[in-house]
Chain A
């Protein structure tokens, strides 16, 4: 992936916004690898369309295997929860696809991103530099 500036190049936090189209072309393990490699590098990864439940389950599993004391504590992940009254996205419902899983997802290193507030319409997070 082309990178404007690496984490070491600037006194800041790199954010990668990844389109649904780019994710569609990848296999499950490629997605998980890309997310965790980014997070290991201290990046905040934002997925336009999130992961499927099965991919989320595998992401948790692989994250656990990579946790290492004093090096990597795991991930912080936030998505917009689907409310019962709105079990699919507007687009999904218009297309008649009630199984749409598209949900904006933010993933970052657990020791650098802290969720301050979350409700059904807002995620407020504090991102710190290591």
Chain B
């Protein structure tokens, strides 16, 4: 093998590496409040980086700022997929501070609702500008045909973003994955319990396949 051929192979290897190592894709975790988005983000982050993303709570709007966990390396079948996870506040069209007053003082409830509205606006901005793909999380124990879900899926589709629907909370008795599959048959639905860690292998397989 001549010097020229060796040089050509070497250049080809370098360019291949340069162009194959793309920036990690930013995957936004979206969905209505209390669907388990942060529980899922924490489960993924803990499984692959050892760290959590944020606090979880049964009170809606616990996540009031979009939070990014960078360089989450997911290994599947000997290959590594690197993504940035963006955990976003639950999207809604209304926020009433009185919904929180059973759990906290009026001042804290007002502060929470103000931060929640800023968080939802921020989440919408991320969706329009800054994510490369979406994991849409739904509580499988709730009716998925809501205006917010229909609108958000429509917004995601209009931006041609790849989307996976995660039917979360399958550990609950009232859970119905079929209801979600029937509501959004145009997208792949993966059942899971982020809290219990059920079916996470399929979750990671689909993330790697879809966003890798």
Contacts and interface: CB of A to CB of B under 8 A. Distances in A.
Contacts of A54: 128, 155, 158
B154 A56 contact: yes
B158 A110 contact: no
Interface residues of A, number: 28
Interface string B148-189: 001100110111000000000000000000000000111000
A118 interface: yes
B120 interface: yes
Contacts of B184: 84
Given A52-B158, A61-B121, A110-B93, A84 B150 contact: no
A52 B155 CA distance: 8
The CB with the most chain A CB atoms within 10 A, among B93, B95, B124, is that of B93
B155 A64 contact: no
A64 B97 contact: no
A97 interface: no
Given A54-B128, A64-B118, A65-B121, A74 B93 contact: yes
Contact of B93 (A63, A65, A81): A63
A2 interface: no
B207 interface: no
Given A67-B113, A81-B145, A118-B145, A53 B157 contact: yes
B20 interface: no
Contact of A57 (B97, B117, B127, B185): B127
Interface in A53-100: 53-54, 56-58, 60-61, 63-65, 67, 69, 73-79, 81-82, 84
Interface string B83-124: 000000001111111000000000000100110011011001
Interface string A10-30: 000000000000000000000
16 contacts: A52-B158, A53-B151, A54-B128, A56-B154, A58-B124, A60-B121, A61-B124, A63-B93, A64-B124, A65-B121, A67-B117, A69-B110, A73-B94, A84-B184, A110-B94, A115-B147
Closest 9 CB pairs of A and B: A74-B94, A110-B94, A53-B158, A64-B121, A64-B117, A53-B155, A61-B124, A81-B150, A84-B185
Interface of A: 52-54, 56-58, 60-61, 63-65, 67, 69, 73-79, 81-82, 84, 110-111, 115, 118-119
